[in-house]
Amino acid sequence: MPATINTRSAAEVLVDQLIVHGARHAFCVPGESYLAVLDAFHDRSLNITVCRQEAGAAIMAEAVGKATGRPGICFVTRGPGATNAAHGVHIAQQDSTPMILFVGQVAREMKGREAFQEIDFRAVFGSMAKWVTEIDDPARIPELISHAFYAATSGRPGPVVIALPEDMQREQLAIEDALPFEPVEIWPGLTDMMKLQKLLWAAERPLVLLGGSRWSEVACAAVARFAERFAIPIATSFRRQHLFDQLHECYAGDLGIGVNPKLLARIKAADVIVNVGGRLGEVPSQSYKLFEIPSPKQTFVHVHPGVDELGMVYRPHLAINAAPTAFAAALEGLQPPNEIKWRAETKVAHDDYMAWSEKATDVPGSVNPGEVFVWLRNHLKRGSVICNGAGNFTVWLHRFYRVRDYATQFGPVSGSMGYGVPAAIAMKRLNPDRTVVALAGDGDFLMNGQEFATAVQYDLPVIVIVSDNGTYGTIRMHQERDYPGRVSGTNLRNPDFAAYARAFGGFGVTVEKTADFAEAFKAAEKSGKPSIIHMKVDAEAITPTTTLTKLREQGGKR
């Protein structure tokens, strides 16, 4: 159809809506199913990052959602593109991250014939996304895109998937843009806050646990002020350490994998638990064993933006339906009790955390990852960002690296391998002035290591540390516990990761001794290029506190 004055293609209308709603970045792998959208990108002010695999693109968008609290945007092609991108959609679901995945779809007239790469998006993503839709009528683009931004951010945040039939994208129409969306921040009621104050006044050993998504720097600062006024211990949930400064005098540690036993004991002995923003999933709940189900013996306060999360698994004594940002602001109105009975215990809780994270434990092999993270926490400037994937290598990071600032730590709460490299690339694209480090395992790295090419293409000097122990270590650990001595399907034969970096046009260096790490890291920084530090770790050093041999010796007994 020829264009007339004020008409735009449906694809142009769509991209303009993204800009209206505040999107500044989109991550994609191209496909012939959305050529009209690619064309609309051509002269619009949206930063496009073209990736090498849709999982990488989707994870980058998810990381933007985590960092900004606004939907990260990803475009992929139909069948194979969409199923690759499912990796990121699943992370967004489990991590409660706002994200919108757009998928090019077959033309409307061909639908239902199993045309080339056609899939039924509602069926495929129905159990993973908060909302899945297909836009058949271009006149509804402003409505449906506005709806998508609201759906992804409100209540429990999560992913939205939108299919775009390719012929629909080319239609011309004259239509107005929607008004910009305003995220809905649900405020706690005054009565809720008064009830909470009353519970805290009566408490002897309270503890606050921070988790979930869509926080902000301002909200975290408000929680820090509350912590100081109430002298209350604050713990963070799995991979949400960035919500509270680990050097704050009220910080008590993180509830992840390989938790400080003293923190677990403290939580068990607490009389009031205030769980803010998170869901208390399998990892922080220590496989659902930390609290009684359905009625925790502690007075259990649950604050969550998704009303459906309240009363799920745990029956709360006080349920507060509120966004973390609004709840944090409302905390400013609470009065501490005249006499804070737990003040001395809070100091002990922080001392316990400091002692737990202070010094690397001894492990076999010539590279001690604990010492590497102790060095890094002293070397990296405030505001530097660390992203990680999944595997045992992360246990040292979470224990010995001390996260200080909001949005400087990004990891998959969903435990998805292959997260750290694309997340780091997205963070560097957002914040070119910050140092951004990715921590990967040898198995983990090669799940999305191809995105190193994207870092080179966009001149994004991220520093990737590949912790290479020649095995899918986490699974080997479980194997030695449950089937001692029967190594099966877990060994890896690895490439030279430093040479891999160089082959892509980046900087690569190999580290075989702890003492060489500092120089290698500084050389990576100095190179100004995307870098890989190939760090060779002994597989025996399977956690900071045990070895494969010990596990094998004790194995089979559970």
Least separation, in Å, of the C-beta of 19 and ligand TPP? 33
CB count, 10 Å around CB of 423? Answer: 33
The nearer residue to ligand TPP, 235 or 511, going by C-beta atoms, is 511
Binding segment (CB under 6 A) for ligand TPP, from list 143-151, 187-195, 414-422, 449-457: 414-422
Is 324 among the residues that bind Mg ion (CB under 5 A)? no
96 binding partner (options Mg ion, ligand TPP, none; Cβ < 5 to 8 Å by kind): none
The tokens of 39 are what? 């064309």
368 binds ligand TPP (CB under 6 A): no
List the structure tokens of 209: 């646990």
| Nearest residue to the partner ligand TPP, using Cβ | 441
Binding ligand TPP (rule: CB under 6 A), the pick from 146, 169, 392, 408 is 392
- When the beta carbons of 87 and 476 are compared against Mg ion, the nearer one is 476
Residue 128 makes contact with ligand TPP by CB under 6 A:
no
Near ligand TPP in 210-229, by CB under 6 A = none
| CA–CA dist 384, 174 (Å, integer) | 45
Residue (91 or 193) nearer to ligand TPP, CB: 91
The reply to whether 474 sits near ligand TPP by the rule CB under 6 A is: yes
CB of 286 to ligand TPP, least distance (A): 18
b (16+ CB within 10 A) / e for 80-119: ebbbbbbbbbbbbbbbbbbbbbbbbbbeeeebeeeeebbb
Q: Could you tell me the smallest distance in angstroms from the CB atom of residue 552 to ligand TPP? A: 16
The stretch near ligand TPP (CB under 6 A) out of 194-202, 315-323, 385-393, 545-553 is 385-393
84 belongs to the binding site for ligand TPP (CB under 6 A): no
Number of H helices, E strands in the chain: 21, 20
Nearer to ligand TPP among residue 57 and residue 145 (C-beta): 57
369 belongs to the binding site for Mg ion (CB under 5 A):
no
CA gap 145, 86 in Å, rounded: 20
Contact 96, 158 (CB under 8 A): yes
Q: What angle do CA 503, 507, 513 make, to 5 degrees?
A: 115
Nearest to ligand TPP of 9, 490 (CB atom): 490
> Residue 461 to residues 373, 382, 383, 394, 425: CA-CA distances in angstroms?
20, 18, 16, 22, 9
Q: Check residue 175 and give left, alpha or beta (phi > 0: left; psi -120 to 50: alpha).
A: beta
> Which partner in ligand TPP, Mg ion, none is near 544 (CB below 5 to 8 A by kind)?
none
Sequence letter at residue 209:
L
Token pair for residue 385? 């960002």
3-state SS of 17-33 is HHHHCCCCEEEECCCHH
Residue 277 in contact with residue 212, Cβ under 8 Å? Answer: yes
From Mg ion, ligand TPP, none, which one binds at residue 105 (CB under 5 to 8 Å depending on kind)? Answer: none
Task: Give me the residues paired with residue 491 across strands.
Answer: 471
Instruction: Select from ligand TPP, Mg ion, none the partner in contact with residue 416, using the beta carbon and a kind-dependent cut-off of 5 to 8 Å.
Output: ligand TPP
CA-based nearest residue to 193, from 314, 329, 310, 315: 329
Stretch that binds Mg ion, among 59-67, 99-107, 382-390, 468-476 (CB under 5 A): 468-476
Chain positions 437 to 466 lying near Mg ion, rule: CB under 5 A, are 441-443
Shortest CB 536 distance to ligand TPP, Å: 12
| Helices 343-358/261-269 angle, 10° precision | 160
Q: Residue 28 CB, nearest distance to Mg ion (Å)?
A: 30
Nearer to ligand TPP, 371 or 444 (CB): 444
The contact pattern for ligand TPP, residues 415-454, with x = CB under 6 A and - = no contact, is xxxx----------------------xxxx--x-------
Work out which of 391, 422, 506, 555 binds ligand TPP, going by CB under 6 A: 391
Which of 234, 390, 511, 535 is close enough to bind ligand TPP by CB under 6 A? 390
Contact 41, 48 (CB under 8 A): yes
Q: For ligand TPP, give the closer residue by CB, 257 or 319.
A: 257
Tokens matching residue 523: 């050389």
528 Cβ neighbours under 8 A, 6+ residues apart: 461
Q: Does 546 bind ligand TPP (CB under 6 A)?
A: no
- Report the C-alpha gap between 456 and 449 in whole angstroms: 12
Q: Output the smallest distance, CB 365 to Mg ion, in A.
A: 13
Rg (CA), the chain: 24
Report the alpha-carbon distance of residue 346 to residue 231 in Å, rounded. 7
From 114-122, 137-145, 296-304, 463-471, span contacting ligand TPP (CB under 6 A) = 463-471
CA 336 to chain centre: 33
Our finding on whether 464 is near ligand TPP (CB under 6 A) is no
Of these partners, Mg ion, ligand TPP, none, which one is at the site of residue 392 (CB under 5 to 8 Å by kind)?
Answer: ligand TPP
| Binding track, positions 290-319, relative to Mg ion; x by CB under 5 A | ------------------------------
3 state SS for 387-449: EECCCCHHHHHHHHCCCCCCCCEECCCCCCCCCHHHHHHHHHHHCCCCCEEEEEEHHHHHHHH
Q: Which residues bind ligand TPP (CB under 6 A)?
A: 390-393, 415-418, 441-444, 447, 467, 469, 471-475
Contact positions vs Mg ion (CB under 5 A): 441-443, 469, 473
